[in-house]
Chain A
Amino acid sequence: MMRLVVRRLLLAIPLLLVVSVLSFVLTSLAPGNAAETILGSSATPASVTALERQLGLTQPLWEQYWNWLSHAITGNLGTSLTTSEAVGSTVSARLPVTLALVIVGTLASAILGVALGTVSALREGVVGRVIDGLAMLGFSIPNFWLGLVLVDLLAVKLHWFPATGYVDLSQSPSGWARSLVLPVAALAAVGLTGIAKQTRDSLREVMGREFIMALRADGMPERRIVLRHGLRNAAIPVVTLVGVFFVGMLGGTVLVESVFVLPGLGSLAVSSAQSGDLTTLQGIVVVFCVIVVLVNLLIDLAYGWLNPKARLS
């Protein structure tokens, strides 16, 4: 198990390098450069050149990258081109919002999805079809549109939840929870229904296998067979899917945070893109990748825990 963790962490290093190089090269391709963005369109060519030298933009690309990387490792992600704040501090101030969204979203979709999927796997007919229909809807309705509709119905019309904004957990736990309900619902709908469907298909398949028959022949109570043997085997593909949906939700924050005006990384990415703040964007991409790497590690651990074949080979 330890070896799996170490191997995964070692694999993460090239992944992060590749992503950072890609985003670095990509941003250097941008028409107009950082100096022009900072100084605005009224700048003289001389002042632009001076700032370029100051920012190190006259150095070769690989040297610029090395400078950026050696700083990034220490947590210094550079300075925003538009607000001249440190990207690192902006990102870390906004990180908790995004993390709260995706973690609560992932947990909600995994727990509810598995529960729903299990019920529909064991009940023939109507329940299964209802879940099929819900899964189709969850997959089809754009998350930001769902968010807009939820805001209109549950916030504007019924006043059950705040329409927009974020309350810090340390300020008011209940306010925090209330401010998360709608955005999490919008974000997690796809994952929840997708996981429910996968759980159902997977559990059905497992319950038809020979070893389930053998357990029945042992005289094992059916409840125990489903919970201890069926679900545990069925969970193996589900765990992988949870990882996939986590990454999807992380991307989805870009839209959902904009709809609910939440001060997270997703909405920061949108505003940075609109203002051409490439340094901040780069920082966000790197932070997102680190999160994904860590979550994938957790998923791998869960996978190994569930599947002895993966753990022992």
Chain B
Amino acid sequence: MTGTVAGLIRRPAALVTLILLALILLACVAAPLVATHQPNQVDYSASLQAPSAAHWLGTDQLGRDTFSRLLYGGRVSLMYAAVVAAVTLVVGVAAGLLSGYLGGWTDRVIMSITDVGLAIPVLVVVIVVLSVFQQNFLAVMIVLGLLMVPFTVRSVRAPVLAVRGELFVDAARVSGLSALRIMVRHVLPRVAGPVLVQATLVSAMALQMSVGLAYLGFGPKPPNPTWGSMISEGSQVLASNGWLLLASGGTVALVTVCLGFVGDAIRDARVQAWTGDVTSTARRRRSAAPNAVTAQLPQEPRATADADGPDLLVAHELSIGFGEAGRETPTVSGLEFAIAPGEAVGLVGESGCGKTSVAKAILGLLPDGGRVTGGEIWFDNQDVTGFSARQMAAYRGKCVGYVGQEPMAALDPVMRVGTLLRQVVRTHSDLTRAQARDRVIELLEMVHIPDPAAVARRYPHQLSGGMAQRVAIARAIAAGPMLLIADEPTTALDVTVQAQILALLRELQQRLGMAVLLVSHDWAVVAQVCRRAMVMYAGQLLEQGEVEQLVTAPAHPYTRALLACRPASATEGQRLPAIPGQVPAPGTWPTGCRFAARCEHSLPQCTAGPVAWESLDGNHVSRCLRTGELAKASGISSTIATKEGSDV
């Protein structure tokens, strides 16, 4: 709430409109003091004048001063609008709170009434009321307010529903506070933003309607001015003087625009209040960290499992950054790796290490603001980073398939699973509709979905998580890619389903001879599918080698720490080990070893300069100054490679 107000004041445009609105309101309220003329003072000698020093906005047919009449008319029009808005907001907010917070029958009754209310053409009913209550405009405005309640109920109920699900409301309920108190003291302040937005909207609509009614002649009797009756008068003299119509209609539009601006600003300010902290600290970080990290990278050896034959995918000096072009915050720097055809490789590390950036960069799908800032990605001897949009579309799906973390979120909610798969098949082949349909069934069979024809007719929300992930895998292999990228493919799934999905990935990898890049934080997952793994930390690779070497004889202290954190390697009755500290945020990487600050073996020289790769046996390499020394003293052992699968 205070954040909303502060956010509003920080926006110059919103502040200006707010001040303008306040000035108009004040001028109307203080009309007797501000007006230059009496509102009904007739002067036939000054009929229909253009604006002048004597009459700032000109005069009407009877020579009355338009500016003064607008001020006096505004008192009536704005007062009516205020009555409508007040009635709507009080009733609407109360009903919305009750409906959203209490739910159940209260909700059903209120929403039924709301639905009925939304089906009523407001102005027509108001005219009926007008003809019944004759000149009692206050009563009519109250009815108008009531008729507009349904809109408010809807826009208050939705945020209340969201807030109701939050923990602090549960806490308040458990602590025995009454429902009324929770609603007024805890829920209402949290939905203050939407209520304020709604207030500006309702006020604007109320003003327009009361002006419209007055235009039709339903309002105070002449000669007393209202904005609506002035528009009507202006339209009658339009041919000889357009000023009256312009001034009266323009005033209504101006007030409404101001209300709209304030409403938009409140909405934007709320959005910023939620995300403001994040962006401002990110900005601070960016300015504090010099961007020299990428400049002094050590030379990396080409580490591949199979030296014979050309590599399928090669990342060379790959750097990725986010933010303004030229001033990006690096998330990945100078990455060097290769994947051979048919090889399954794991990319392991904590969250925030840049693993997903690497996966997305290979697909050319970095999110907004992200780009490859240096190096190349070679796929089958073509540089992916130089692809045109057309080449990229032909490459995605056909050359590289992708399976994401959230199987349900990856499916178009309004499209049948079979239609989606058929679309992928047909995009990359010239199969006929019928052939593509058969191919879809075949794909669904390949991922072991029972009754594929029935599943193909389903919508995503009719699938279980595991089923959806099988569909996602079928989709990824639909065009027969040579490389499958799976980014945390089992994280969102049940433990029992996880093992099945991993087994499926492994089976398909072997059966189709497809290379797999498996991104995961979980060694057990990597061990089930991959023969080789790369350990990533703070945008850099720290260790590479066979999975078996890595888990039985990890060389880098970070790899050891990661392995020690696995629940399977914990001792019963003892605290689960965790690596102290956090992954340094992108852009705050230290010179030298990026893990040094959290490493129990760190020496002063670790942070002195870039650390080079140290070779162990075979393709096993580690980026640690003390590699040899620690390898000798290594006591860590893990059961993962031998017990694979059983502890998943």
Contacts of B363 in A (CB 8 A): 216-217
Residues of chain B contacted by A217 (CB below 8 angstroms): 363, 365, 396-397, 400-402, 476
Whether, in the assembled complex, A252 has its beta carbon less than 8 Å from a beta carbon of chain B, the answer is yes
Task: List chain A residues, Cβ under 8 A from B409.
Answer: 209-211
* Interface class of chain B by DSSP: helix
- A289 contacts partner chain B, Cβ-Cβ < 8 Å: yes
A-B contact pairs, 20 of them (CB 8 A): A14-B116, A15-B115, A23-B125, A23-B128, A26-B128, A137-B257, A141-B253, A141-B256, A142-B211, A142-B231, A142-B252, A149-B249, A218-B475, A221-B427, A233-B413, A254-B127, A255-B212, A255-B216, A266-B124, A292-B121
Number of interface residues of B (CB under 8 A): 76
Q: Does A251 contact B (CB under 8 A)?
A: yes
Which of A280-313 touch B at CB < 8 Å?
A: 281-282, 284-285, 288-289, 292-293, 296, 306-309, 312
Does B119 have its Cβ within 8 Å of any Cβ on chain A? yes
Given contacts A210-B404, A219-B428, 18 further A-B contacts (CB under 8 A): A15-B119, A19-B119, A136-B261, A149-B249, A152-B242, A156-B239, A211-B412, A213-B404, A214-B410, A221-B393, A251-B123, A251-B124, A254-B123, A255-B215, A285-B125, A308-B459, A308-B461, A309-B461
Is A140 a contact of B256 with CB atoms below 8 Å?
A: yes
A18 within 8 A of B: yes
Instruction: Note all chain B residues with C-beta closer than 8 A to A14.
Output: 116
Q: Mark B246-274, 1 if CB is under 8 A from A, else 0.
A: 00010011101100110010000000000
Nearest 4 Cβ contacts at the A-B interface: A219-B397, A251-B123, A140-B256, A145-B249
Report B-chain residues with C-beta under 8 Å of the C-beta of A159.
Answer: none
Given A233-B413, A274-B217, also A244-B404 (CB < 8 A): no
- Decide yes or no: A218 and B204 within 8 Å by CB, A136-B261, A308-B461 being known contacts: no
A289–B115 Cα distance when bound, in Å, is 13
Is the Cβ of B215 less than 8 Å from the Cβ of A309?
no
Residues of A within 8 A of B (CB): 11, 14-15, 18-19, 23, 26-27, 29-31, 136-137, 139-145, 148-149, 152, 156, 209-211, 213-222, 229, 232-233, 236, 244, 247-248, 250-252, 254-255, 258-259, 266, 269-270, 272-274, 276, 278, 281-282, 284-285, 288-289, 292-293, 296, 306-309, 312
Which residue of A is nearest B257, CB measured? A140
Assess whether B462 is in contact with A218, with CB atoms less than 8 Å apart: no
Contact B257 A292 (CB under 8 A): no
Q: Which of A31, A213, A292 contacts B119 (CB 8 A)?
A: A292
Q: Does B118 contact A (CB under 8 A)?
A: yes
Query: Are A27 and B252 interface neighbours, CB within 8 A?
Result: no
Is B479 an interface position by the 8 A CB rule? yes
- Are B131 and A276 in contact (CB-based, < 8 A)? yes
Question: How close is A57's CB to chain B, nearest CB, in angstroms?
Answer: 16
Query: Given that A211-B409, A308-B461 are known contacts, is A141 also in contact with B249, CB under 8 Å in the complex?
Result: yes
Contact A148 B231 (CB under 8 A): yes
**Complex contact B127–A136 (CB within 8 A):** no
Q: Please indicate the chain A residues that have their CB under 8 angstroms from the CB of B218 in the complex.
A: 273
Residues of B within 8 A of A281 (CB): 127-128, 131
- The interface residues of chain A lying within 8 Å CB-to-CB of B427 are 218-221
Nearest CB of B to A78, in Å: 15
Could you tell me the distance between the alpha carbons of A257 and B401 in the complex, rounded to whole angstroms? Answer: 59
With an 8 A cutoff between CB atoms, is B389 at the interface? yes
Interface residues of B in 352-375 (CB under 8 A from A): 363, 365, 367
Q: How far is the CB of A200 from chain B (nearest CB, A)?
A: 13
Which residue in chain B gives the minimum CB-CB distance to A132? B264
Known: A27-B132, A218-B424, A251-B124. A148 touches B410 (CB 8 A): no
Contact of B124 among A11, A145, A284, A293 (CB under 8 A): A284
B116 contacts A309, C-beta separation under 8 Å: no
**Most-contacted residue by chain B among A11, A251, A281 (CB, 10 A):** A251
Which of chain B's residues have a CB closer than 8 A to the CB of A308?
413-414, 459, 461
CB neighbours of A143 from chain B (8 A): 212
Chain B residue at minimum C-beta to C-beta distance from A255: B212
With contacts A30-B132, A136-B261, A218-B397 taken as known, whether A255 is within 8 angstroms of B415 at the C-beta atoms is no
Docked pose: A211 CA to B420 CA in angstroms: 11
Measured between alpha carbons, how far is A217 from B392 in the docked complex, in Å? 9
